[in-house]
Structures are given as C-alpha cells and as structure tokens.
C-alpha cells in the first residue's frame, strides 16, 4: 500500500498556535484544530470558519462534537 498523502492547511485566528500544518489527507477540521493546540483562551469552538479557495466560507459549530460526538459539522479538509 502506498504512503498516505499529506496536505498543507493554514490555521489562523484564535488558535493556541496558529500556523501552517502538514496533516493527513483524511484529516478533518477537528484534526487541524488539535494540531494547532486547540482554541486559545479567547477562542471558541462555536464559530469556526472554513475557507476554501473557490467557495464561500462555511461556518461550523464544533461544540456539539465535544458534548456528544456529533460529527456532522466536522468536515474533511482539502489542500
């Protein structure tokens, strides 16, 4: 089996350690946020914006994921 492809994502805003991260191509928003150390003390999981090059921003509320494991809002990332 081939190696798993990686993608590069940018985590900006109220993350503990914002920056560029190289993660698995199967990663989701939660994985990227975890790589960035989670939200800072001023940040929140209630209003996360996913920006992609060719589409409008998507606003996510990941609090329900932490409360009960609801993964509907945890979308896969693209390079």
Q: What is the pLDDT along the chain (79 residues), one digit of tens a residue?
A: 556 799 999 999 999 999 999 999 999 999 999 999 999 999 988 999 999 888 899 898 888 888 888 788 888 998 8
31-59 burial string, b = 16+ CB within 10 Å, else e? bbbebbeebeeebebeebebeeeeeeeee
Whole-model pTM over 0.95 = no
């Amino acid at each position: 089996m081939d190696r798993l492809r990686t993608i590069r994502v940018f985590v900006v805003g109220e993350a503990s350690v914002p920056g560029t991260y190289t993660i698995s191509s199967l990663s989701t928003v939660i994985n990227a946020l975890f790589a960035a150390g989670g939200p800072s003390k001023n940040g929140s999981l209630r209003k996360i914006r996913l920006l992609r090059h060719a589409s409008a921003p998507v606003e996510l509320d990941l609090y329900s994921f932490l409360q009960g494991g609801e993964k509907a809002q945890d979308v896969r990332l693209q390079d």
